[in-house]
Amino acid sequence: MSDAKRRIGVMGGTFDPIHHGHLVAASEVASLFHLDEVVFVPTGQPWQKSERHVSPAEDRYLMTVIATASNPTFSVSRSDIDRGGTTYTIDTLRDLRAEHPDADLFFITGADALAQIFSWRHAEELFSLAHFIGVTRPGHTLSDPGFPEGGVSLVEVPALAISSTDCRARVAKGDPVWYLVPDGVVRYIDKRRLYRDATG
């Protein structure tokens, strides 16, 4: 099938773990922007020790697959994981553009990440590759640092004060994450004993 006129959302994230905030944001944007598909793209494994331990890419990938499997419009791309190393949004979008040359791409990102947009590499090319959609969530506000005209839309998603950081901390303390993440993801975290050690 031709990609002509297909509208594809791209949701990048560490997804360590994926939670219902991510899923609600993707669902809401898909509805508002009439997207045919939302591709979740878990980030590659950082080369260097960053300030925190990031779970293995395969675990983050599988949790993302588990969380999205029941939605026919959601899919998962291995592009950033297979490229390896630290993920830059420009590489994600170039790969997806090559895969879907005729589609309209909508990059969905939290307002927190969007605020750093000018520290991203190749900011101008980014805006030529995709339309950017910033989703706001509780505790994050966005001040427009001068985005290109028409390049960015802001969307308020239903308030879900869920973060992966909080989910990891809860597991480390032995607190439940039921209903913050999909049931299959709760089971997977348990099976793989992820996040048990608060220090990583």
| Alpha carbons 67 and 72: distance in angstroms, whole number | 12
Q: Please state the closest distance from residue 137 (CB atom) to ligand ATP, in A.
A: 4
Instruction: For ligand ATP, give the closer residue by CB, 103 or 111.
Output: 111
Residue numbers at the binding site for ligand ATP (CB under 6 A):
13-16, 21-22, 25, 109-110, 112-113, 135, 137, 157, 160, 162-165
Instruction: For ligand ATP, give the closer residue by CB, 20 or 97.
Output: 20
Q: Please state the closest distance from residue 143 (CB atom) to ligand ATP, in A.
A: 16
Instruction: For ligand ATP, give the closer residue by CB, 31 or 101.
Output: 31
154-173 burial code (b ≥16 CB/10 A, e <16): eeebeebebbbeebbeebee
147 half-sphere exposure, CB direction, 13 A CA radius: 21
Instruction: For ligand ATP, give the closer residue by CB, 87 or 103.
Output: 87
Which distant-in-sequence residues (6+ apart) come within 8 Å of 10 by Cβ? 38, 39, 41, 92, 93, 96, 105, 106, 107, 108, 130
Q: Which DSSP helix (H) or strand (E) runs through 146?
A: none
Q: Please state the closest distance from residue 1 (CB atom) to ligand ATP, in A.
A: 29
Q: Please state the closest distance from residue 13 (CB atom) to ligand ATP, in A.
A: 3
